[in-house]
Structure 1
């Protein structure tokens, strides 16, 4: 049976004048105790042991227990606190040393200290309560936080460390100077929460933590919405991040699974994977990213499946030795490139749809820079559907490009391999090789180019087999300068232009066409510059005509005979 004790500063029959005296009386009896506290202010430090409940008699907030410095409540045993306001400074305002502690409908104000400290091997529940300025620290403890508000923590609002296991449900966390929830070498579940205005990542997992986030809303944070670092793992489901620097960041070996999330209006990136981070991202959406929607760099290796990207600057960028696999990706209405692979990175793209972007694929870098694109559709590109430069290598299979300027282009020393692809309604060229670029195409179809179906210039090399070029306004194929290669079992059809503008350096084997093949005159070779080295006499490095020389003279008279024999 629970023994009841009444505390009232005004006194009264069988009332204790302060909480400490009531606790002492309960301890002497050694029974479960209910201590009911009348409204008022109590400046006390409470040490609560055993099975004790402290409850405000009035409305929540009517009982204030405070100290100018130091701890306010230290619990051991099975302790419950209901409806109190606890105020302290420069210490743990509420601490649980042993056993369990439950705080309900309470307010904890921690100025320059910890609001609630759950020490190792304890269990602490916070429910329907407000924690102002201080943080809830779970160190090796078990915790449950439900329907709480954390306001302007000077550190992390909720810290889960050193093997602790804590669940945070349906709570609001705002204005934390560092993180909203930090999980370090521990486990935590954060569900149905709203986090806003944090100084760093709203939710952080580090030191091999295990973090689960579900159904949360994160807004207006100064850094990442969610961050997994230092080999942490876990999952993020059904969460929305708005106005963060990065929507979700995965770094240094971390490997989470992120599903059905929305990252919108992120100031830099929506999904950011770098420094050997990994991660699987399924059915996510990134809108209005300030820089890059999905970014893998510096050894990052994400897998992205079912991603929708709209508006913003760059769609997917894989750079600086990163690698990534991307499938079922839809991208539209960007201001820059949709898919970028740079500087030793490797990207694999399957089932991709891109619409209304200036450039749809951009590959650039050394020979280790590779991209493979299969079953893709690129529509309405202002510049190019695919651009491959540097020494990079790109393979296209089952790719169609519709309505733009240039379909597929390769330049410098890069290589482009095209298989079963189609280009339709471009204004410049279906497939272009220039510089020292190499184009290898099988079963390529170009239809309705306003200029060329296929074009090679400079010293490019082309190997085009079993391909079709239809209704190209200027030429089905045009070979210029010293580009070379072969065109085998191809057809050119239509009523406009010519079949081939031939520079004589590309083998035309089994060409099927009713249009003319036009031999292009080679550009005259430039004469080498004449150099005269005058030592004891003139020395010429090329045949010279019409030159007039003089040496060892104080004065020179130059005379030239005109065609009619007269001297000038």
Structure 2
């Protein structure tokens, strides 16, 4: 049978003047107790040592328990608190030291410390309550928060550490100086919550933690909306992040699963995977990212299946040794490149559609920089649909370009391989090679070009096998300067000015065309050879002419002039 006690600051028959007095009598009798507290202020510290229920008799907010310094409520036994306002400073306002503690329709104001502190092995439930300024801390404990509000925490609003387990359901967290929810070496589930105006990541999983986020709204965050680091795991489902610096960030070995999420108006990046982070991302939407919609860098290696990017600056950027596989990608209406692979990064893109962007795919870097695109459509591209620079390697399979300045181009020392690709309605041309680049195209179709079908210049190499070059206004193919290559089993049709204009360094075996094929002589006189040697003179094993030499010098300047009679000095 439950013992009943009444507490009234005004006193009265059989009433305790203090809550502590009633708690003391309940502990001495050792029976479950109901303590009903009349409205008023109670400047005291409460200690629970037996099973009790503390109830504000006048309803939520009618009883205020306040301490100028130190704890307000310490619980060492199962307890339920209903409708109280607990105000404390310079210490934990509520401490759960043993057993289970439930606070319902209550308010906790922690001006300088922790609002609720659950110690190892305990359990705390917070329901339909408000927490001002302080944080809810679970250290090796279990916690459940339902329909609560956390406002202006000076630290993290909720934190679970040291193997603790936290569930936060249907709650609002706003104005935290650090994180809204922090998980460090524990587990947390955040579902149906709104998190806003946090100073750092709204929800953050630290070292070796497990975090589950579902059906949440994260908005107006100074840093990441949701962050996973240090080998943490977990999932994010059906969640929207609005106006964060970064929507979702994954780093240092973390490996979450993210599904059906929307990242809107992120000031820097929508999705950021870096520092060895991994992750599987499915059906993600990123709109209006200030810098990059999806950034993979410094060893990041995500798998993305289904991602739509609209508006903003750049689409997908894989850089600095990052790598990733991206499937079912849509990119529209950007102000910069849709896809970018730089600096020893590797990326595979499959089933891609790009519309209304300045450029499609850009690659640049050393030979470790590689990109592959399969089954893609790139249309209404202002500049080049695909550009490979540096020493990068790019492979395209079944890629269609519609309405672009240039469809496929490679320069400097890059390598570009095309298989069964097509280009229509391009301005400059279908495929090009310049610098010392190499372009190999098999099964290429170029139609309706306002310029050329394919072309090469400088000392680049262009090999085209089994191509159809139709209705190209200027010509089917041009090889300028000392570029080399071949047109094997290719056809050039239409009413263009030329079929092929070449420099005599091209194999035209199997070319089919009724348009003119013109060879233009290319000047082949070699320029002078320059040898730089800083320590000893060079050794020549044969006749030498037109040579300039410099040694024992830090700098050498080469000058060449032409005399009036045409000789050079």
Q: Which residue of structure 2 lines up, in the alignment, with residue 163 of structure 1?
A: 163
Distance (Å, rounded) in 2 between the aligned partners of 1:49 and 1:286: 53
Q: In structure 1, what is the equivalent of residue 297 of structure 2?
A: 297
1:489 matched to 2:489? The reply is yes
State the Cα RMSD in Å: 1.4
Give the Cα separation in 1 of the matches to 2:339 and 2:545: 52
Query: 1:59, CA displacement in angstroms?
Result: 2.3
Q: CA deviation at 1:523?
A: 4.0
Residues 133-172 of structure 1 aligned to structure 2 (within 5 Å): 133-172=133-172
Higher radius of gyration, 1 or 2: 1
Q: Distance in 1 between the 2:497 and 2:76 partners?
A: 92
Match in the other structure for 1:225? 225
| Shift in Å, 1:404 | 1.1
SS across alignment from 1:509: coil
In structure 2, C-alpha distance between the alignment counterparts of 1:421 and 1:137, rounded to whole Å = 58
Structure 2: how far apart are the matches of 1:524 and 1:354? 42
Per-residue CA distance 1:209-252 (angstroms, 9 max, x = gap): 00000000000010000000000000000000000010000000
Give runs of aligned pairs for residues 441-456 of structure 1, distance below 5 A: 441-456=441-456
Equivalence for 1:537:
none
Equivalent runs, 1:456-495 vs 2, <5 Å: 456-495=456-495
Which blocks of at least 5 consecutive residues in structure 1 are unaligned?
530-539, 543-559, 561-568
Q: 1:37 to 1:482 in 2, by over 3 A?
A: same
Q: CA deviation at 1:518?
A: 1.1
Match of 1:267 in 2: 267
Structure 2: distance between partners of 1:443 and 1:541: 46
1:527, 1:258 → 2: CA distance? 59
Is contact 1:49-1:79 (8 Å) kept? no
Is residue 2:17 matched to residue 1:17?
Answer: yes
CA offsets 1:438-472 (integer angstroms, 9 cap, x no match): 00110000001111000000000111111110000
CA distance in 2, matches of 1:511, 1:207: 63
Is contact 2:432–2:462 with CA below 8 Å preserved after alignment?
A: no
Q: Contact 2:360–2:385 at 8 Å: present in 1 too?
A: yes
Cα deviation for residue 138 of structure 1 reads 0.4
- Name the structure 1 match of 2:126: 126
Give the distance between the partners of 1:528 and 1:485, measured in 2 at CA: 26
CA distance in 1, matches of 2:10, 2:431: 92
Which SS does the other structure have where 2:121 is aligned?
Answer: coil
1:55 lines up with 2:55 in the alignment: yes
Partner of 1:343: 343
Aligned equivalents of 2:250, 2:496: Cα separation in 1: 54
User: 1 CA distance for matches of 2:435 and 2:25?
Assistant: 93
Query: Whole-Å Cα distance in 2 between the matches of residues 505 and 528 of structure 1?
Result: 22
- 1:526 Cα deviation after fit: 8.0
Query: 3-state SS of the aligned residue for 2:99?
Result: strand
In structure 2, the partner of 1:238 is 238
Contact 1:208 1:231 in 2 (8 A): yes
CA contact (8 A) 2:469 2:492 kept: yes
CA distance in 2, matches of 1:524, 1:259: 60
> Is contact 1:75-1:101 (8 Å) kept?
yes
**In the TM superposition, what is the alpha-carbon distance from 1:25 to its structure 2 partner?**
1.2
1:394 aligns to 2:394 (yes or no):
yes
1:278 matched residue in structure 2 = 278
**Structure 2: which 5+ runs fail to align?**
530-543, 547-563, 565-569
Give, in angstroms, the shift of residue 521 of structure 1. Answer: 2.9
Does the aligned pair in 1 maintain the 2:70–2:93 contact within 8 Å?
A: yes
Aligned length: 534
Shift of 1:528: 6.2
Task: Using structure 2 for the length normalisation, give the TM-score.
Answer: 0.92
Q: Partner residue of 2:32?
A: 32
**What do residues 239-284 of structure 1 show as CA deviations (whole Å, max 9, x unaligned)?**
0000001000000000000000000000000000000000011001
